[in-house]
Amino acid sequence: MNIRFISLILILMLILLSGNVNAIAYCSLRDPVSQIAQLYPQKTNQLSIVKAVDDNIRSQVQFALPRNDLHFSELGQHTLYIAMFGKESLGYVHVRSEQSDWGLVEIVWAIDKDLRIRDFVFQRCRSPKKKIAEEGGFKNIFIGKNYQELKTLLSDDGVTAKKDVLIIAQSAPELANVVLRCALKTLLLTDILWGEELEKL
Amino acid sequence: MKFFFTALLMIAIAPCHADFTQNLRWSLDASARLNQNEALENTSRIYALGLDTHKVFTLSKGDIGYGVGQVYYTKLSNHIPVPFLFTSKDDSEFIIREAHVNYTAGPNWLPNIRLGHFTLPFGLEESIDTNGRLLDYYHGKNLGTKLDWGFGFNKVLSQIEYSVSYTLGGKNKAKSVDGSYAITGRIGSLSHLDFVIGLSFFEGKIDGISRKRLALDWQYYWGTWGFLGELALGENNKQLQGGAKEKYSLFELNKTSINEQFKLYGQFIIRDRENKPSADTLVNIGFSYQFNTQLELSISGGKQINGPSMAKKQQLARVQIRVRY
């Protein structure tokens, strides 16, 4: 038993010295193959790039988007998926969670190669207004916009959308605020964490 | 047989071996569990320290699949009854939990192919991972084992998902023991939706007991509330004692805080066996609190609310601290 225990400690020490460790090893997209196909029907495969969201990245988000934070489950290792058609990149897919009154809302974002929102679907949303948020009128608030353009939709409090945006969101203003915050964090993190790799593609 | 599995695993990951750390996620997972078993008047502890890994195998043109590896050094302290992997109440062992690869790069019409040691695709456990948690859906008790070595096919389609497997029935051993085997499968609606329903089947022989099961499971979530259930019918057949029909029902009501740090659940379980004078009825209540990404505290209590008058009813309280780094 002692030899086993010492062996285990030695293995763990070697692993610790070899690189970063991560609090949680899990996949945010439940099934990347089928869910990416929903957003990019013509894709033939996907290519994953895993990166760590750490406290330094969290601080950068807090600096760029004051009064915003990342949920604790958003720290750790995360994956950006590149939707592929053969060897050609069609765009990117990233899933992020945002806290709401109905628990965590998980949104799967399709991002084009200019880092603009191309489309989105809910992986999990238990709001009774979910159906409104799946309609074209609501989605068009966000589709086609980049980080800077989305930021102009934020009101002065930094966490809610401006009144004219909420009017378009009809009877789902709370969900519009959640989706806007999630979209901003998604585009910001995509640029900070994966920007270099994406430029090389 | 172990060599066969190892060789296949190596062939599967060989093209990506040159850069093994790419897309590799891993964490150290340590837990200490205290159990107070009133029926046996016994206090025991279980300590576990392990490595939890997830690796996406990627080539230049895209992903070809992923692998999951969970290896734990587990130490018992005064634990009775002695679990099947251990030889005494104070034993310690290296235990493999999940250890499998799933090939996902086939054409759309072809299912993914899973190979290794994995959780049998049956009932609620198929979409809710209970490894290392106090929360349990009694997979092992129902089927004879929770995890087994073998291969399987799985796929998520636009409206449904399915998973079927053939495993060797050796549980932690990558071989068939005395003719053991297990054929398991589940087909259900998409498991990330608010309402999930699934049908499962099982036929196998494990530890000399032939089992057949057919089960219905569901999950319904409304806001931060969840209502889950599993109903299973079947038969156990022991060589000397003959066959006996089995019925199993589990109902769970759970509540999660909006930031998901706090989770509370209550379970009501009825297990009815032919040739037994009455069904066993159990109630479990538990909660967990996630302090941050690393630290989680869980407490659960279970009590049998009926049972034979002569025997002591099951009554188990457990506390667990789990740290992932």
Report the CATH number at residue B141: 2.40.160.10
Q: What is the pLDDT of residue A14?
A: 52
Contact by Cβ (8 Å): A166, A173: yes
Residue A27 has pLDDT above 50, yes or no: no
Residue A177 has pLDDT above 80, yes or no: yes
SS3 of B79-119: the string is CCCCCCCCCCCCCEEEEEEEEEEEECCCCCCCCEEEEEEEE
List the single residue in A12, A50, A126 with the smallest CB-CB distance to B23.
Answer: A50
Contact by Cβ (8 Å): A19, B20: no
Task: Name the residue range of residue B57's domain.
Answer: 2-324
Residue A25 has pLDDT above 60, yes or no: no
The verdict on a CB contact (< 8 Å) between B259 and A99 is yes
Contact by Cβ (8 Å): B13, B24: no
Rounded Cα distance between B113 and B11, Å, is 14
| Residues in B touching A53 (Cβ below 8 Å) | none
| Residues in B touching A87 (Cβ below 8 Å) | 60-61
Look up residue B252 and give its amino acid. E
Each residue of B59-80: pLDDT tens digit?
888 999 999 999 999 999 999 9
Closest residue, chain B, to A37 (C-alpha): B158
| Residues in B touching A197 (Cβ below 8 Å) | none
The pLDDT confidence band at residue A200, using thresholds 50, 70 and 90, is confident
Residue partners of A75: CB distance under 8 A and separation at least 6: A23, A53, A54, A55, A58, B293
Beta bridge partners of B243: B237
Rounded Cα distance between B12 and B10, Å, is 5
List the single residue in B73, B108, B222 with the smallest CB-CB distance to A8.
Answer: B73
ipTM: 0.84
Closest residue, chain A, to B62 (C-alpha): A47
Q: Domain tally for chain B? A: 1
Contact by Cβ (8 Å): B180, A58: no
The verdict on a CB contact (< 8 Å) between B28 and A34 is no
* Best to test chain B binding among A47, A95, A123 (most B CBs inside 10 Å): A47
The verdict on a CB contact (< 8 Å) between A50 and B56 is yes
Q: What is the pLDDT of residue B60?
A: 83
Nearest to B63 by CA among B104, B92, B5, B123: B104
| Residues in A touching B66 (Cβ below 8 Å) | 27
Q: What is the pLDDT of residue A8?
A: 58
Rounded Cα distance between A186 and A93, Å, is 10
Closest residue, chain B, to A23 (C-alpha): B325
| Residues in A touching B94 (Cβ below 8 Å) | 4, 8
Query: φ, ψ for residue A42 (rounded to 5)?
Result: -85, 0
Nearest to A83 by CA among A199, A198, A170, A6: A198
Q: What is the pLDDT of residue A12?
A: 55
User: What would the mean pLDDT of A76-89 be, rounded to a whole number?
Assistant: 92
The verdict on a CB contact (< 8 Å) between B192 and A77 is no
Contact by Cβ (8 Å): A105, A124: yes
The verdict on a CB contact (< 8 Å) between A126 and B293 is no
Rounded Cα distance between A99 and B47, Å, is 34
Q: What is the pLDDT of residue A4?
A: 60
Q: What is the pLDDT of residue A19?
A: 42
Rounded Cα distance between A107 and A122, Å, is 5
Q: Is the pTM of this model over 0.95?
A: no
Residue partners of B192: CB distance under 8 A and separation at least 6: A30, A106, A123, A124
Rounded Cα distance between B22 and A134, Å, is 35
Contact by Cβ (8 Å): B292, A72: yes
The verdict on a CB contact (< 8 Å) between B60 and A87 is yes
Residue partners of A76: CB distance under 8 A and separation at least 6: A22, A23, A24, A52, A53, B25, B293
Query: φ, ψ for residue B137 (rounded to 5)?
Result: -110, 15
H/E run at residue A130? helix A130-133
Residue environment code for A74-87, b if the CB has 16+ CB neighbours within 10 A, otherwise e:
bbbbbbbbbbbeee
- The edge-to-edge listing of strands for the beta sheet with A103-111 is A45-53, A76-85, A88-100, A103-111, A117-124
**Which has the higher per-residue pLDDT, A148 or B106?**
A148
Residues 83-142 of B with CB under 8 A from A: 92, 94, 104-105, 108, 112
Looking at residue B312, the DSSP 8-state letter turns out to be P
H/E run at residue B225? strand B225-238
- Torsion (CA) B46, B33, A12, A75 in degrees, nearest 10: 160
Residue partners of A181: CB distance under 8 A and separation at least 6: A65, A68, A98, A159
Query: What does each of the 325 residues of chain B score in pLDDT, given as a tens digit?
Result: 554 555 555 555 555 445 778 889 889 999 999 999 988 899 999 999 999 999 999 988 899 999 999 999 999 999 999 998 899 999 999 999 999 999 999 888 899 999 999 999 999 999 898 989 999 999 888 999 999 999 999 999 989 999 999 999 999 999 999 999 999 999 999 998 999 999 999 999 999 999 999 999 999 999 999 999 999 999 999 877 778 999 999 999 999 999 999 999 999 999 998 888 888 899 999 999 999 888 999 999 999 988 665 567 788 999 999 999 8
Asked if B60 has any chain A CB less than 8 Å from its own CB, the reply is yes
The verdict on a CB contact (< 8 Å) between B61 and A47 is yes
H/E run at residue A132? helix A130-133
Each residue of A105-129: pLDDT tens digit?
999 999 999 999 999 999 999 999 9
Each residue of A154-172: pLDDT tens digit?
999 999 999 999 999 888 9
First CA to last CA across chain A, in angstroms? 50
For B145-168, give the DSSP string.
-SEEEEEEEEEE-SSEEEEEEEE-
Residue environment code for B114-141, b if the CB has 16+ CB neighbours within 10 A, otherwise e:
bbbbbbbbbbbbbbbeeebbbbbbbbbe
| Paired sense of beta strands B209-222 and B195-206, if any | antiparallel
Residue partners of B6: CB distance under 8 A and separation at least 6: none
| Alpha-carbon dihedral sign for residues A21, A25, A28, A34 | positive
The pLDDT confidence band at residue A30, using thresholds 50, 70 and 90, is confident
User: What would the mean pLDDT of A179-190 be, rounded to a whole number?
Assistant: 96
By percentage, how much of chain A surpasses pLDDT 70? Answer: 87
**Tokens standing for residue B232:** 């299973």
